[in-house]
Amino acid sequence: MELGVAVRMYLDVVVDLGVQPHASSLSSLNVNVGGSLFRRNFGVRSGYSGRTVAVKVTLAPGFASYSGSQSTPPTEADPNCSTRRNFNFSAVAALSGDIRFGQHFAFRTTMEQMVIRYKSSVRDPPGIGKPPRLSFLSHDNYINATN
């Protein structure tokens, strides 16, 4: 479900809420996520809007959440790890086109690409962050995946 509100002639504020039931199985190769995907994105949309057609681009950061995440990969000792909900940063870039048939009736088609950033189980070595390699960055590593 998407809600867009025009705040200026060429600028819309967009709220996009989506549910993808069973988007991923519980056994993913790179990240331990699975189940249904819930996403919430908030952003801006801008572009050309004429009398009968419109072409607009959307950029909306937000959050993506899988319902069946595993904190650790399954092992032979514990093949049925407990699952939990996780929250990850996501961003959506979309291109949409409208054909208007009247003042209150139009047909819209949208192509979108969503990037989700997952926390990896790999961490930086413990020597980073101590002199002479002083770093204020996190020791966590992240993986970007597209849906």
Given a cut of 50, the residues of the chain with pLDDT beneath it are: 29-30
Residue 90's pLDDT is what? Answer: 92
Q: What is the pTM of this model?
A: 0.71
pLDDT of 30: 46
CA distances from 126 to 71, 72, 77, 129, 139 (A): 22, 21, 28, 8, 8
Q: How far apart are CA 3 and CA 43, in angstroms?
A: 11
